[in-house]
Amino acid sequence: MTAVEAKCLIKEYKGKPAVSGLDLTVEKGELFALLGVNGAGKTTTIKMLCCLTRPTKGDAFLLGDSVLSNRAAVKAKINLSPQETAVARNLTVRENLELIARLYGCGKKAAESRAAEMLDNFGLFPAAKDKAKTLSGGMQRRLSIAMALISKPEILFLDEPTLGLDVLARRELWAEIKKLKGHITVILTTHYMEEAEALSDRIGIMANGELKACGTARELMEWTGAGNFEDAFVALATQQEGTV
Amino acid sequence: MKPLIFASRNGKEILRDPLNLAFGIGFPLVLMLLLSAIQANIPVSLFEIEHLAPGIAVFGLSFLALFSGTLIAKDRSTSYLMRLYAAPLRAADFILGYALPLLPIAVAQSAVCFATSIGLGLKPDIGTLAAIAVLLPAAALYIGIGLLAGSVFTDKQVGGICGALLTNVSAWLSGTWFDLNLVGGTFKQIAEVLPFSHAVDAARAAAAGDWGAVFPHLWWVIGYAAVANTAAAAVFGKKMRSDNN
């Protein structure tokens, strides 16, 4: 079943294209990575799919609901972990989790129960009573993703989930993200090649606002004849015309 | 329900910042103690507690603009608001969520101010409670100004505008520190067009049990509060759309 279907999605800022005619299909339960350098259009794409910015042209359907005409239904099904760590700094870890659960419609008891579940799943129990601002960068990012999952979204967007984290924190977070595979549709953006390769079922290469290629890491290497994924990415991201 | 849930977060964010408590409650109380000490040592009636307490209470409320403005501006500057924009919340939920927690804080500020005044010789009566109630529109006014500033400016700019400029303008033009008739002229005319002196006069009238004198002043405050909050809601809604475009 299709979870995300973008049809000729275009976003322009003052006449300049940020995303140009994006056609994309992501299946339910798939972990899909949008890979590209800074300014490739990844975050703009995520913003359009999350109803945070209105496409200039085109439309996208999330589990059948349009981001243009049925925003409320889309918003109820999705959640997002933004690029920067997005936590309420003076709230405790537990309070941050419960707040998001309640804003998505959970009652008090259900929010407490889900928060306990997230604390457990993400190894945050020891820090449950700590204020978010006292956590390390890696722990804050982990909390940020747990906050995105507590509403039990059918589609989860992770915008550069490991940006700025050290190697150990990144690997820990990868392990958490891998656990989601098959249970929930995940769309993540990254500019780390090894991250896309390690985590994703399929990878979309974006450059200059265009989706240049889409496939598994192995397929992308085969199509370009590259010996490794980084060379495949460079070949695809720098190609002038057409889509693979 | 969602505005109340969001409001609980905002209340915690404000109350858990010790600087907010220091400025919102501590600073006005220190001023009141200082001015009362001066009054005890001068032969003229300059800072009589019956006159001073309502003015100090309004001065304390002016910090609400700093609290609300800083919180909303900080949220706008981080991805936290982006996360909340993606949640099923409407613009009205956000504005109410930011404004609501400040009302009980305003009541607590006024109550602490008048309780301290009683310790300094103010005679407690029904007028004291009425003054606290009469100060609510003034609280709404400052909250609205803060929401408006926070929707437009950065948190550093809000610190300058609401923390320094507004608190000073509001204090000087309120008639708290000196009788506006002593200055007279254009200064007094400006003060009478703005809501700050009316807020103080309404609270003084209520505290004195002079009910007839409350409302002419309170209408000014209510009018300004309505304009400030309506403008804040409109500007926040517009920024919410433009932030995401």
Contact of B48 with chain A, judged by CB distance below 8 Å, is answered with no
- With b meaning 16 or more CB within 10 Å and e meaning fewer, what string describes A118-153? bbebbebeebeeebbeebeebbbbbbbbbbbbbbeb
Taking only residues 1 to 20 of chain B, the set having a beta carbon closer than 8 angstroms to any beta carbon of chain A reads 2, 5-6, 8-9, 12-13, 16-17
A106 Cα to chain B: minimum distance (Å): 10
Q: What is the 3-state secondary structure (H, E, C) of A32-48?
A: EEEECCCCCCHHHHHHH
Give the single-character DSSP code of B124: P
Which portions of chain B are predicted below pLDDT 50? none
Q: Do A75 and B87 touch (CB under 8 A)?
A: yes
Looking at this protein, which amino acid is placed at residue A175? A
Locate the chain A residue with the closest alpha carbon to B8. A99
Contacts of B5 (CB under 8 A, 6+ apart): A99, A102, A103, B97
Per the CB < 8 A criterion, the answer to whether A241 and A69 are in contact is no
Strand residue runs (E) in A116-178: 155-159
Q: What is the pLDDT of residue A217?
A: 93
- CB A54 to CB B245 under 8 A? yes
pLDDT at A103: 96
- Count of CB atoms situated within 10 Å of the CB of A38: 8
CA–CA min distance B241, chain A (Å): 8
Strands A210-215 and A78-81: unpaired
Are B58 and B176 spatial neighbours (Cβ–Cβ below 8 Å)? yes
Q: What is the pLDDT along chain A (244 residues), one digit of tens a residue?
A: 899 999 999 999 988 999 999 999 999 999 999 999 888 999 999 999 999 999 999 999 999 999 999 999 999 999 999 988 789 999 999 999 999 999 999 999 999 999 999 999 888 999 999 999 999 988 998 999 999 999 999 999 999 888 878 888 888 889 989 998 889 999 999 989 999 999 999 999 999 999 999 999 999 999 999 999 999 999 998 876 555 5
CA atoms within 13 A on the CB side of B193: 6
Burial class for B210, CB neighbours closer than 10 Å (0-12, 13-18, 19+): exposed
Work out the angle between the directed axes of helices B91-99 and B214-243 (0-180°, nearest 10): 130
User: Residue B122 gets which letter from DSSP?
Assistant: P
Q: How far is residue B221's CA from residue A232's CA, in Å, rounded to a whole number?
A: 66
| Alpha helical stretches, state H, B62-135 | 63-77, 80-85, 91-99, 102-119, 126-134
In the three-class reduction of DSSP (H, G, I as helix; E, B as strand; rest coil), residue A158 is classed as strand
**Nearest by Cα to A71 from A80, A81, A61:** A61
Query: Distance (Å, rounded) from C-alpha A199 to C-alpha A180?
Result: 10
Q: Distance (Å, rounded) from C-alpha B212 to C-alpha A206?
A: 70
Nearest to B79 among A83, A100, A131 (CB): A83
pTM of the predicted structure, to 2 decimals = 0.88
Question: How far does B75 lie from chain A, in Å, by closest CA?
Answer: 9
A192 within 8 A of A34, measured Cβ to Cβ? no
**What DSSP line would sit under B202-216, residue for residue?**
HHHHHHTT-GGGHHH
A 48-87 near B (Cβ less than 8 A): 50-54, 72, 75-76, 78-87
